[in-house]
Amino acid sequence: MTGLILVAAILLSAGYAKLSTMVLNRMLAVTLPTWANKLLEIIQLLSMPAYAMILLIAFYSRHAGFGGLSWQTISYWELVLILAGAIGFGFLVHSTIVFQSYRPPRCEITCDSRIVDFRTPLTAIAADQVSAPSDWLSTFVGPGPRRRVALLPGNQQFSLEVSTKTYSLPRLPQAWEGLSIVHFADTHFRGAVTRRYFEKVCEHARALKPDLFVFSGDLFDDLALLDWLEPTLGQLKAPLGQYFILGNHDWYLGTNVVRQEYERHGWVDLSSRCIELKSDKSGPPIVIAGDETPWMGKHPDLSHVSPETFRILLSHTPDNVYWAQKQKFDLMLAGHTHGGQIRLPLLGPVYAPSRYGCRFASGVFWLNPTLMYVSRGISGREPIRYNCVPELTKLVLRSGSNFRE
Ligand SMILES: [Fe+2]
């Protein structure tokens, strides 16, 4: 009986953990100040062991095990706790099935990925300053906040998955066949991950030679590191330009200074705007728009854009996908959720600040007629990654004769 009680307590506690993180994820998706976000995270973190302890005390002390549990003896609050755990466990099973059954949509024609481990000498792109594995620590781990977190064994923060993925999109005009975009997300410059790491990421980005670079927000977590932009993103130039929007972490810092720094280095601000891109071949223009809601600005106005025009949206959060779908965007690029940063074996990501929880934590999603790409991003406020390697992706677009839903 003792074993049964323990198993029940563990399953109900796991259910409560799932339910409370679902609530937390949704609360973090709205525009709260950082101190409120931190407070919510601490409350949720403390509530999980508290739930388990209360449950065990109730089972053992008040009811002397399951044998003493009955409708007559169970109190109202005990019933609420058990129900919360049971409902949460149902959600846990559901999200595990969804995570395990995820497959990219069929419009993904090719996927060419390799993982670069920055803790070994970099020979493929540049072997200039990193000569031996022992150098990696002083080269890539800085003195900033959470340095100890960055140094945790097995932390994947100092790896990078560099991918080229080809997508077939039904409305892409022939003149834009092969359009390539390198999508950056969530660098979170804060200091524990050094500038050198981000310079290396940008060297990989430059080697991908895209038609345009885009950054979907959360560049900074510390304005003292503003001068990091010049040797990193400032070195990137593409034939069709470099475009950015800000994220909630840039918003916490004060947006004007960040926008000015981007623009000083040739990046175009897409906040609440819609810009026409023209092909050098004869053919119709396409539009690229930016959306920083719910933190800043408003949805970009597409009323002047013809319904046939191919549309790309840069949105910090994937939560804007249903709006993008209504506006008939063909491609939406987002970040913000970092793939959850830690993915548990079997269960997948746990934390993702989104109205939809972990559903859009990362990956590619087809919501007809919109293809949404959610990047795991490059770093995070906490420099920690397990089973969730930072990513840098080049998307190549093909017009959609071979597209199947
Ligand atoms: Fe972020």
How many whole angstroms separate alpha carbon 18 and alpha carbon 200? 37
The residues, any chain, with a CB within 8 Å of residue 152's CB and separated by 6 or more, are 384
184 CA from centroid of ligand 1 (Å): 11
Asked whether residue 179 falls in the same domain as residue 74, the answer is no
Determine, yes or no, domain membership for 377. Answer: yes
Q: Give the DSSP H/E element, type plus range, for residue 91.
A: helix 76-100
Residue 348: is its pLDDT beyond 70? Answer: yes
Determine, yes or no, domain membership for 405. Answer: no
Provide the whole-model pTM. Answer: 0.90
What is the pLDDT confidence band of residue 134, given thresholds at 50, 70 and 90? low
For residue 131, the model assigns a pLDDT of 47
Residue 122: is its pLDDT beyond 50? Answer: no
Asked whether residue 91 falls in the same domain as residue 163, the answer is no
397 CA from centroid of ligand 1 (Å): 26
Determine, yes or no, domain membership for 191. Answer: yes
Domain count, the chain: 2
For the ranges 48-62, 80-94, 225-239, the lowest mean pLDDT is seen at 48-62
Give 289's strand partners: 274, 313
Residue 72: is its pLDDT beyond 80? Answer: no
247 CA from centroid of ligand 1 (Å): 7
377 CA from centroid of ligand 1 (Å): 7
Asked whether residue 120 falls in the same domain as residue 94, the answer is no
Residue 132: is its pLDDT beyond 50? Answer: no
380 CA from centroid of ligand 1 (Å): 6
Supply the CATH number for residue 116's domain.
Answer: 3.60.21.10
Residue 49: is its pLDDT beyond 70? Answer: yes
168 CA from centroid of ligand 1 (Å): 28
Asked if 337 contacts 352 with a C-beta cutoff of 8 angstroms, the reply is yes
Instruction: Report pLDDT digits (tens) over 311-320.
Output: 999 999 999 9
Asked whether residue 78 falls in the same domain as residue 174, the answer is no
- Average pLDDT of span 131-145: 76
Residues around the ion ligand 1 (C-beta < 5 A)? 186, 218
235 CA from centroid of ligand 1 (Å): 22
Instruction: Report pLDDT digits (tens) over 181-210.
Output: 999 999 999 999 999 999 999 999 999 999
Determine, yes or no, domain membership for 373. Answer: yes
155 CA from centroid of ligand 1 (Å): 18
Q: Which residue has the higher pLDDT, 402 or 274?
A: 274
Asked whether residue 40 falls in the same domain as residue 136, the answer is no
Instruction: Report pLDDT digits (tens) over 285-296.
Output: 999 999 999 999
User: Which residue, of 55, 72, 100, is where some domain finishes?
Assistant: 100
354 CA from centroid of ligand 1 (Å): 12
Asked whether residue 29 falls in the same domain as residue 161, the answer is no
For residue 69, the model assigns a pLDDT of 63
Asked whether residue 72 falls in the same domain as residue 176, the answer is no
Tell me which residue range forms the domain holding 54.
2-100
For residue 255, the model assigns a pLDDT of 78
77 CA from centroid of ligand 1 (Å): 38
Asked whether residue 231 falls in the same domain as residue 115, the answer is yes
146 CA from centroid of ligand 1 (Å): 16
- Average pLDDT of span 113-133: 62
